[in-house]
Structure 1
Amino acid sequence: MPLPVKRVKYARSMILRPHLWVCSVAIIALSPFPAYAQNRETSTVSLGMRRDFSLASQPLSSTIVRFSAQTGINILADGAFAAGIQSSPVKGSLTVEEALSQMLRGTGYFYQRNDPRSFTLVRQSTTNTDQATDAGVQLDVITIQTGNRSVSGLVAGKNAPYQTTAAVTSVDAQTLGEKNAGNLDAAIRSSAGTFTRKAMSGAGVAVNIRGMEGYGRVNMMIDGARQNIRVMGHGVSGGSAFIDSDLLAGLDMGRGSLSGAAGVGALGGAANFRTLGIDDVILPGKSYGALSTIKYGNNAYDWSTMAAAGMRAENGTGIMGAFNRRDSGAPKGGEDDNGRRLTDRNQAEDLKSGLAKLELGHGEDHKLLLGGIWYNNKSTIRGEPQDYLNHTYTARYDYTPDNDLIDLTVNAYYNDAQVRFSGGKYAGQFTRDKGMGIDVTNRSHADLSNDIALKLTYGGAYYHDDVTNGQSWGRGGPGDGKIGIGSLFADATLSYGMFDLTAGFHYDTFRLQGDVVKKNDRQTVLEYADRSDSHFNPRVTFAATPVDGVQFYTTYAKTFRPPTITETFFPGAHSATPNPTSPNPDLEGESSKGWEFGMNVLKKDVLAPGDALRMKANYFNNDVENYITSGAYSMKNMPMLQFVNITGKTRIKGFELETNYDSGFAFAGVTYSKTSTDLPYGMWSDGFGIGELNGLPDYTVTINAGFRALDEKLTIGGQVRRIGKTKAVKPPMGPQLIDVEGYMLADAYASYKYNENATFFVNIENITNKAYKPAQFMDPQKFGRGRTVIGGMTLRF
C-alpha cells in the first residue's frame, strides 16, 4: 500500500506549498501510470466471470445504462439510435458477452469488443469496423453516472431538460468549473430564467427564479437537503445557500411549478446543488482513483486547491473523500472613466470545505448512499467579520428491482447552518438553523393497451426547521421558532401516440410555532403562537410531439409557500437599541396560479452527421396572491415595521429561451430571459432592515460560441453577457427608487485535455476590465470584479 500513503502526503503538502504540489502531481499525471496495465489485466479476467442478470425488455438506451451500471463496462454506440427500439430480456447467470448478445437480439445491432472494458454497438448495415470508420459514423460514449439522479421534480444531464415538459435546466461540472471558473453567480445568471442576489460578503449564493426570491420562494438544496438559514440586516435577508463550487458535480434548477419533492412548499422553483460522488473520482473500469483541481488567479483570487480520492470494492462498496482550500483577498473592480479601480474588501474569503461519501450496493437493486459535507468560511459585511458554518448530512436509498411498478427513492437529511459575527460591534451575535427532512418517491409504469401507456410518480415528504439566534429581544434577528411542512404528491401521465396528458397535485400542510415578542411600555411580553394550515395545489400538463425531437406543452398550475419563521417572529435588527419592528403571527402564506407554454427541441444530424441542436423556450404568466413584504403601521403614534401581506394580485410574466448547436468542431448557444413583474418592495429595502427590493434586470442575454481542435482535445470559446437596466433604492434608505444602468461583459475560456488523466484550463472574466455595479447587488457603492484570469488543471488517476 505505499502508493496511497504517498498520495496522502502530497495532498497535505498541497496546503503548505501549492506550487510544489502542482509540479509533482503534474509529472505523475503526464507520465504512464504503472497501475493501469495491472488494472486492465484484472479486468480481462472479470469478463469471463458469470453473474446474475435480470433486465426486462425496455428501450435499448435505458437497458444500456442499467447494463453499464451493473458491470462497469463502457458502451460506445451509434449516435443515431432509432426511436422505439426495444432490447430483448436478459436473464440468467451469464458472462458479459453472453448478456450483450441476449440484449441485442432482434434490435438490428451487434457488438464489437474494443478492449477489456469497452464495447461498440454497430448497426447490422455496417459489415465491419473499417467500413464504419470510412463511412464517418459518429460514435457517442454513453457515460454512466449512477449518482446523477437529482431531487424528484428536477432532472440532471445534458439532454434531460430538452425531454422534460417543465422549465428545467442542468449545469454540469465542466461548464461550471472551466467555462465559469467556479463562479456560481455567473453560471446561474447565464442560464435562462434564473438570476442571483449578490451579497455584500463573498460567502453564499441566493438563487432568484423569475423574480421570485428568498424566504423559501425558491427551494435551495444541497444534495436534496434544504437550505433555510436567513440572516436579517446587512446581508441577503431572504436566505443564502453556503456551498463550495469546487466540490460540485452539477447544478439542477427548475422554474415555476415543479412535481415531486422539489416543489414542496416552493412558490417559484427550486435549485439543487449536486456534490461530487464516487463515480466522479474513479475512472471507468478502475477500482480506485483520485481527482484534483488546482487553480490560481490574479486580482486577489490566489490559490484554490481541491483533492479527492476514492475506492470501490468488488462487492460494490465504495468510499470517497474530498477537501478544498481557498483563501482569496479583496478584488479590485474594473477601471472607471477616471481610471480608478475600487477595492471591495467585503469579497475576501477564507474557505475550508470537505465532503465524504459511502456507497453500498453499487449496480445492484438496492443502493444506499451516505454523505457528509462541511463548509467553513470567513468573510465580512460592511467591515463586520462573520463566520459561516454549514454541515450537511444526507442518506439516499434506491430500490430498483426488475419490476415495472417499483423504482423507489428515499432521501433523508440533517442540516446545521450558522452565521456568527466574530468581531466588531456585533461580536457574538448569531443565527442558527437546524433542519431535517425526508422524502419518499416511487415511479411506476404500465402498458394499459397496445396504444396507451401509464406512468405514475407519487410519494410524500416532511421537513422541519428549528431556528434560534440566542439573543434577547431587539439584539438580533430573525427570531426563534419552529416550522414543519408535510406534503403528499402525485403525477399520472397517460401517453397515446404523439400526445401526453399529465395530472398531478401537491397537498401541503404546515405548522408554525414560536414566541411572539411584544413591547408593552417598558415590559417585554412573550406570547406563544401556534398556527397551521393546508393547501391543495393541482397541476395539469398537455404535451404533443408531432415530429420526432420536437415537443410542445402547456401547463396550468398552482403553488403555495407558507410564511417563514423569519417573517412571522422577527422582533428586531442586530443592534443595542431595538428597532421599531413587530412580529406578525397572522401572516397568510403566498400562492401563485398561472399558465406556461413551452417547446422542446432535441435533434441530431441537423446540418451534418453527428451534430446536435437543443432548444427550450417558455412563456409564463402567473398571479401571486398574499405576497409578503415589509410594511409600516402606526402604534401609539410611532411608526412600526413588520412583514405584511399585500392585498390583490401581483403579476409575473415573461419569456425564456435557451438554445445551443454543437457539431463537434464548433458550438454556439444563446440564452435570453425577459421577466416583467410588479412586485412591491417594502420599507428599508436596502439590506439594512427587513425588506429587499427585487431589482431584477429588464432582460438578460448570454451568447456563447467556440470551437474544438486537435481531435477535440482543445476547446476555445467565449461569451458575452448583456444585463439590462434595473432599479435600486436611493441611498441611504429610500423610499425613492433610482435607475441603474445595464452593462455588458465579455469572457473567454479554453481547455486542453492532454489525456484521460490531465486537463488544463484558463478563464478570463471581464476581458475589457469594465467598471460596473452588478444587478441585484446589496451594496450600491461597490462594483463587480475587474479583469480576472484564473488558470489551472484537473487531474484524475
Structure 2
Amino acid sequence: MTARRLLRPHVLAGSVAALALCAMPAQSQQATIQPAATEAAMGFSIAAQPLSSAIVKFAAQSGINLVANGALPASVKVSAVQGRYTPQQALSLMLKDTGYAYRRNGERLYTLAAQGGVADAADVEGVTLDTILVEGNGRDGSVSGLVSDLDSVYQTSAAVTTMDAQTLRDRHAGNIDNALRSSAGTFTRKAMSGAGVAVNIRGMEGYGRVNMMIDGARQNIRVMGHGVSGGSTFVDSDLLAGLDMGRGSLGGVAGVGALGGAANFRTIGTDDVILPGNSYGAMSTVKYGNNAYDWSAMAAAGMRVQNIGVMGAFSRRDSGAPMSGVDDNGKRLLNPNMAEDLKSGLAKLELGDGEDHKLLLGGVWYDNISTIRSEPQDYRNQTYTARYDYSPGSDLIDLTVNAFYNDARVRFIEGNYKGQFNRDKGMGVDVTNRSQFALGDDIGVKLTYGGAYYYDDVTTGQAWGTGGPGDGTIGLGSLFTDATFSYGMFDLTAGFHYDSFRLKGDVVKDVSGQLVYESVDRSDSSFNPRMTLAMTPIEGVQLYTTYAKTFRPPTVTETFFPGAHSATPSPTSPNPDLLPETSKGWEFGVNVLEKGLLLEGDALRLKASYFDNDVENYITSGPYSMANMPMLKFVNIPGSTRIRGFELEAGYDTGFFFTGLEYSKTSTDLPYGMWSGDYGVGAVNGLPDYALSVSAGFRVLEEKLTIGGVVRKVGKTKAVKPPFGPDLIDVDGYMLGDAFATYKYSENATFFVNIENITNTAYKPAHYMDTRKLGRGRTVIGGMTLRF
C-alpha cells in the first residue's frame, strides 16, 4: 500500500493549504502536548456521534486542521463535548474510550490515528497532505450574512456563491456584468448607460426582489424611464475585494424583505492593502485597454499601529464609446451610451484586535457620468458603514451590530431634463447574535437571531406627475432567527423572518375636476418560515432540501408612480393599494468538496440545486388609457406565478490544471411589464433559455504564470417589441470566447492581460434594454498590480 493511500486525510472546512505530516510515535497518548498557558478556551458543542463526522464538527468549531491515518470506522463513536475548553482538552474528551489518539504537529495541525497502529516515521517522510484551514469563531467575513470563503460555499446548505477580487480582475477584467453572468443562477439587466449593475437572481430582479448591498448597506435607488427602473448598484469594481451572492430564501439580515436572493459587493480593507507581517503598505493597479477602454488606475495605502488600522483608496477611469464586433455585413456599430467618466474612493478605520471588541468604520464614494439616449447623467453614491463585533468568549454571546447611511442620486446634467433627479437616502441598523449549547449528549444546537430596521426617503426633485417616480418613505423592520440542531450526520435548521413595513406618501385624485393631494399611510406584515434538512452521509458530500416563504413589500416607486411621460400629469395612475409579493417553494441541493481525489493536492468542488417556487401578487407595470394616451400604473398579477430551474457549478483543480463549469436554466411565467423595454419602467424578466460558462487553464513556473480561457454560451431570449409592447420579439443567442493570463513576478508585483470576445462577434446582449445597441467587440485589457 502506498504512503499516499495509507495517510489519505479526512479534511474538514475552509481554504486549501499544503502541510507536511510529521510522524507520530507508536505509543501516542490521549494528550501528548499540554496546552500553552496562554491558550484560550473556546466554546464546543459536539454531540456523541461517529468519529468520522465528529472531527468535521471539531474542525469547524476550533479552526484546527486534522489529518487521519487510514480510514475511520463508522462503528467508532465519540463522547459528547459541551462547554468551554482548549482545543486539546476538547479533543481529549472527544476521543476518550475510542482507541484513537492525537498528536499536535503544529500550531493548527493535529494528526489522528488508532493507538498502536500508527505508521512509522520512515513510511511518511516527505509525504505532503492536503489540509484545510477553518475559521473557528463561526462568523462570516461578508458582513451581509453571505459566505465569503470559497470552500464554505460547498459546505453550506443553501444556494450561495462567492468570487474574490483576483477572479474578477483576471478572468473578467473587472467587468461585474460578465462576472455575474458567468455565475450559476445569477444574471444582470444591462442598462442603456455604462453606470451601475442590476442583479437578477433566478428571474427575480428590481424593486428589492434582490437585496443588493455594498458592505452590507442596502442599495435602493430607482430611476424611472430609460434606466434600470427597478434599481441599480453603483460601485467601482477596482475597489472590490469580492462579490457574495445568495439565491432563494436566505436567513439573517440578507433575507429581510428580499424575494429572490441577495448580492453583497465587498470593498477592500486594511488587510487587502498591507502585506502580511507589515505594519504599513501600499497597493496600486493600473490598466489600459483598446476599443475605448483607455486608462484606469487605483491607488491605496494603509497602516496598522497596535490595535488601530487605517487605509484609503482612490480610483479613476475615463472610458470612451466602444465598437461592437463585426456583423454579417462586415460593419461595426458604436455604442456611445457605454462611455464613462468615473471617480471613486473609500476610507476605512479599524479599532480593536478582534479578540473581544472590534469596530470598523467605512466610507465609499462613487461619482460617474454616463449617457442615456444622448443625455448625460451624473451618478453619485455615498455609502457610510459601521460594524461592531463583541465576542467575550461566551458560548451564548457572539454579537455583531451593523449600521449604515447611503445617499444615492441620479441627475440629468444636460438635455431636455436638465436638473431633474432621483434620490434615495437610506439608512439602517441590524443586530445579530450567535449562541451554541447542547440538548443532552447527542444534539448540538446553534442559534443565530436578531433584528433589523431599514428606512428609505425617496425624492425626485420634480413636480408631481411629470414623469419621475413619486416621492415617499418606507420603513422595513424584521425579527429573525435560525436554529440548527445537529445529530450525527444530520442538521435540521428551522427559522423565520417576521417582516413588517410602513409606507407613506402623497397621491393626487381628481375631485370635481380639481387635482387634490391625499396622504397615504399604510402598513402590513408577514411571517415567513423556512426549514432545511441537510445530511452528510459521507465526508465531503452533503444533500439538503429547503422549504421557505419569502416576502417583499411594494416600493415607494411602484406605489406612487404618477404614470406620466414627460410633463403630462395623470391623477389616477398611482396605486396605494398594492399588495406585497410573496414566494413559496422548495429547493433540493447537493454539495461536493473532495480533496486528494485523484491526485496529490487536487480538489473537486461541485454544487447543484433545483428550485420550484410560486410567486403570489407579483407586481408589474400595466397599461390603461386616459384621453387616448397610453398610461401606466403598477398592478398585482392575480394568482400564482411559477418559477423553477436548475443550477450547476463545478470545478476541478490540480494546481497545474484547472477547469470549471457554470450552468443555469430558469423557466418562468412572470409577465412582461408594459413599457419595460427601452423605456425601462416594468421588469423585463427576459432571461435567456440557458446560460453556460466553461473555463479551463494551467499554471506553470511554480504556479507563477496562469493561462486560461472562458467560453460563454447564452441561449435565445425575448424582449418587448418597441416601442410599447405588449408583443414580444425573439433575440438570438450567442457564444463568446475570452482568454486571460496572469504572471505573479513576486508578492510585490503581478501582471495580467484579458481578451474579451476574441472572435470579435457582433451580438445583442441578453437582457439589454436598448434593442438597437450591440455588445462590446474584441477588447484587450492589460495591467499590473504593485504592492509595497
TM-score by length of 2: 0.87
Q: What displacement does 1:132 show?
A: 6.3
Give me the whole-angstrom Cα distance separating, in 2, the residues matched to 1:257 and 1:614. Answer: 23
Q: Secondary structure at the match of 2:297?
A: strand
Give the number of equivalent residue pairs. 729
1:526 aligns with 2:517: yes
Q: Deviations over 1:169-220 (max 9, x none)?
A: 1111111111111110011111111100001101000000010010000000
Which of the two has greater helix per residue?
1
After TM superposition, the structure 1 = structure 2 runs for residues 165-314 of structure 1, keeping only pairs within 5 Å, are: 165-314=157-306
Q: Deviations over 1:326-363 (max 9, x none)?
A: 11111111111111111101000000100111011123
Q: What displacement does 1:364 show?
A: 2.0
What root-mean-square deviation, in Å, do the aligned CA atoms of Structure 1 and Structure 2 show? 3.0
Q: What displacement does 1:67 show?
A: 9.3
Residue in structure 2 matching 1:358, options 324, 330, 349: 349
Q: What displacement does 1:525 show?
A: 2.1
Residues 77, 141 of structure 1: 8 Å contact kept: no
Residue in structure 1 matching 2:42, options 47, 52, 56: 56
Alpha-carbon spacing, 1:286–1:296, altered in 2? closer, same or farther (3 Å): same
Q: What displacement does 1:134 show?
A: 2.6
Which amino acid in the other structure matches residue 376 of structure 1?
A: D
Which amino acid in the other structure matches residue 469 of structure 1?
A: T
Give me the whole-angstrom Cα distance separating, in 1, the residues matched to 2:745 and 2:70. Answer: 30
1:456 aligns with 2:442: no
Q: Secondary structure at the match of 1:424?
A: coil
Q: Deviations over 1:546-600 (max 9, x none)?
A: 1111111111110110000000001145623346871110100100011111111
After TM superposition, the structure 1 = structure 2 runs for residues 705-724 of structure 1, keeping only pairs within 5 Å, are: 705-724=696-715
Residues 257, 558 of structure 1: 8 Å contact kept: yes
Residues 430, 476 of structure 1: 8 Å contact kept: no
Q: What displacement does 1:540 show?
A: 1.0
Which amino acid in the other structure matches residue 149 of structure 1?
A: G
Residue in structure 1 matching 2:460, options 459, 469, 487: 469
After TM superposition, the structure 1 = structure 2 runs for residues 64-79 of structure 1, keeping only pairs within 5 Å, are: none
Which amino acid in the other structure matches residue 315 of structure 2?
A: N
1:335 aligns with 2:319: no
The equivalent residue for 1:442 is 433
Q: What displacement does 1:711 show?
A: 1.2
Q: What displacement does 1:441 show?
A: 0.7
The equivalent residue for 1:108 is 102
Give me the whole-angstrom Cα distance separating, in 2, the residues matched to 1:146 and 1:751. Answer: 33
Residue in structure 1 matching 2:595, options 575, 579, 604: 604
Residues 281, 290 of structure 1: 8 Å contact kept: yes
The equivalent residue for 1:409 is 400
Residue in structure 1 matching 2:151, options 155, 159, 166: 159
Q: What displacement does 1:135 show?
A: 2.2
Alpha-carbon spacing, 1:67–1:753, altered in 2? closer, same or farther (3 Å): farther
Which amino acid in the other structure matches residue 359 of structure 1?
A: E
Where in structure 2 are there 5+ consecutive unaligned residues? 1-35, 45-53, 96-100
Residues 78, 140 of structure 1: 8 Å contact kept: no
The equivalent residue for 1:45 is none
The equivalent residue for 2:605 is 614
After TM superposition, the structure 1 = structure 2 runs for residues 362-377 of structure 1, keeping only pairs within 5 Å, are: 362-377=353-368
Which amino acid in the other structure matches residue 296 of structure 2?
A: S
Residues 233, 573 of structure 1: 8 Å contact kept: no
Residues 427, 454 of structure 2: 8 Å contact kept: yes
The equivalent residue for 1:10 is none
Give me the whole-angstrom Cα distance separating, in 1, the residues matched to 2:785 and 2:147. Answer: 26
Which amino acid in the other structure matches residue 340 of structure 1?
A: K
Alpha-carbon spacing, 1:131–1:517, altered in 2? closer, same or farther (3 Å): farther
Give me the whole-angstrom Cα distance separating, in 2, the residues matched to 1:506 and 1:756. Answer: 45
Which amino acid in the other structure matches residue 369 of structure 1?
A: L
Alpha-carbon spacing, 1:638–1:344, altered in 2? closer, same or farther (3 Å): closer
TM-score by length of 1: 0.86
The equivalent residue for 2:659 is 668
Residues 77, 120 of structure 1: 8 Å contact kept: yes
Residues 288, 783 of structure 2: 8 Å contact kept: yes
The equivalent residue for 1:483 is 474
Q: Secondary structure at the match of 1:450?
A: coil
Alpha-carbon spacing, 1:251–1:355, altered in 2? closer, same or farther (3 Å): same
Residues 354, 389 of structure 2: 8 Å contact kept: no
Q: Secondary structure at the match of 2:371?
A: strand
Give me the whole-angstrom Cα distance separating, in 1, the residues matched to 2:59 and 2:531. Answer: 32
1:650 aligns with 2:641: yes
Q: What displacement does 1:636 show?
A: 7.1
Q: Secondary structure at the match of 1:235?
A: coil
Q: What displacement does 1:691 show?
A: 1.8
Alpha-carbon spacing, 1:89–1:367, altered in 2? closer, same or farther (3 Å): farther
1:732 aligns with 2:723: yes
Alpha-carbon spacing, 1:80–1:662, altered in 2? closer, same or farther (3 Å): farther
Q: What displacement does 1:721 show?
A: 0.6
Give me the whole-angstrom Cα distance separating, in 2, the residues matched to 1:340 and 1:487. Answer: 54
Residues 83, 395 of structure 2: 8 Å contact kept: no
Residues 201, 380 of structure 1: 8 Å contact kept: yes
Give me the whole-angstrom Cα distance separating, in 1, the residues matched to 2:577 and 2:746. Answer: 62
Q: What displacement does 1:275 show?
A: 0.7
Q: What displacement does 1:158 show?
A: 0.6
Residues 717, 731 of structure 2: 8 Å contact kept: yes
Residues 559, 574 of structure 2: 8 Å contact kept: yes
Q: What displacement does 1:80 show?
A: 9.9
Give me the whole-angstrom Cα distance separating, in 2, the residues matched to 1:238 and 1:374. Answer: 22
Give me the whole-angstrom Cα distance separating, in 1, the residues matched to 2:110 and 2:300. Answer: 33
Alpha-carbon spacing, 1:102–1:308, altered in 2? closer, same or farther (3 Å): farther
Which amino acid in the other structure matches residue 759 of structure 1?
A: T
Q: Secondary structure at the match of 1:159?
A: helix
Give me the whole-angstrom Cα distance separating, in 2, the residues matched to 1:751 and 1:319. Answer: 29
Residue in structure 2 matching 1:775, options 766, 769, 776: 766
Residues 601, 615 of structure 1: 8 Å contact kept: yes
Q: What displacement does 1:530 show?
A: 0.2
Alpha-carbon spacing, 1:185–1:495, altered in 2? closer, same or farther (3 Å): same
Alpha-carbon spacing, 1:713–1:65, altered in 2? closer, same or farther (3 Å): farther
Give me the whole-angstrom Cα distance separating, in 2, the residues matched to 1:63 and 1:308. Answer: 39
Which amino acid in the other structure matches residue 298 of structure 1?
A: N
Q: Secondary structure at the match of 1:771?
A: coil
1:763 aligns with 2:754: yes
Where in structure 1 are there 5+ consecutive unaligned residues? 1-49, 69-74, 93-98, 114-118
Q: What displacement does 1:51 show?
A: 9.5
Residue in structure 2 matching 1:687, options 668, 675, 678: 678
Give me the whole-angstrom Cα distance separating, in 1, the residues matched to 2:730 and 2:413. Answer: 35
Q: What displacement does 1:640 show?
A: 3.7
Q: What displacement does 1:151 show?
A: 3.8
Give me the whole-angstrom Cα distance separating, in 1, the residues matched to 2:682 and 2:410. Answer: 19
Residues 580, 641 of structure 1: 8 Å contact kept: no
Give me the whole-angstrom Cα distance separating, in 2, the residues matched to 1:788 and 1:85. Answer: 58
Give me the whole-angstrom Cα distance separating, in 1, the residues matched to 2:432 and 2:535. Answer: 26
Give me the whole-angstrom Cα distance separating, in 2, the residues matched to 1:606 and 1:431. Answer: 54
Q: What displacement does 1:148 show?
A: 6.1
Residues 80, 441 of structure 2: 8 Å contact kept: no
Residues 659, 669 of structure 1: 8 Å contact kept: yes
Alpha-carbon spacing, 1:135–1:378, altered in 2? closer, same or farther (3 Å): same
1:387 aligns with 2:381: no
